[in-house]
Amino acid sequence: MNWDNIPLLIILALSMIGNNHTVSVSALVLLLIPKLGLENCFQFIDKQGINIGIIILTIAVLSPVAQGRIAMNEVLDVFKAPVGLLAVVIGIFLAWVAGQGVVFMKESPETVTALVVGTIIGVCFFRGLPVGPLIAGGLVALVVNALGLFKG
């Protein structure tokens, strides 16, 4: 048995317990890639996986607009309301945090497992939603950097 697979197996088990199908499928695919002799896919996934995932997510989020379920006047009205302006500010902040998460996860890939396990525990036991490791990684990076400032 390859001990390197233990983190993925733990993530798979926790995601199945937590009924998190997205993480379950992801862990299974990553466990199957070497078994199918497709190790070269890892380089592509490492380089393009996040971009492809973000493109697919963005398509899903913009789908109601493309289908005409959100009228132009509704889009314009939301920017006039305080909640709409707050949503823009928070959207900007979270996009920046997620960007920090990408950098942090590239610099500390070993923490990705901990982020995913934490997300699964939050989903399973605290009725949370899996918002993704990018934002979680960004928040970890902010805390780590903040703590680093206090050490000096």
The 10s digit of each residue's pLDDT in 16-64 is: 887 878 888 989 999 999 999 999 999 999 888 878 888 888 898 889 8
Would you state the pLDDT for residue 30?
Answer: 93
Q: What is the DSSP string of the chain?
A: --GGGHHHHHHHHHHHHTT-HHHHHHHHHHHHHHHTT-TTHHHHHHHHHHHHHHHHHHHHHHHHHHTT-S-HHHHHHHTTSHHHHHHHHHHHHHHHHHHHHHHHHHH-TTHHHHHHHHHHHHHHHS------HHHHHHHHHHHHHHHHHHH-
pLDDT band at 152 (very low <50, low <70, confident <90, very high): very low
What tens digit of pLDDT does each residue of 11-27 get? 899 888 878 788 889 89
Flag whether pLDDT at 150 surpasses 60: no
pTM of the model: 0.64
Share of the chain above pLDDT 70, in %: 93
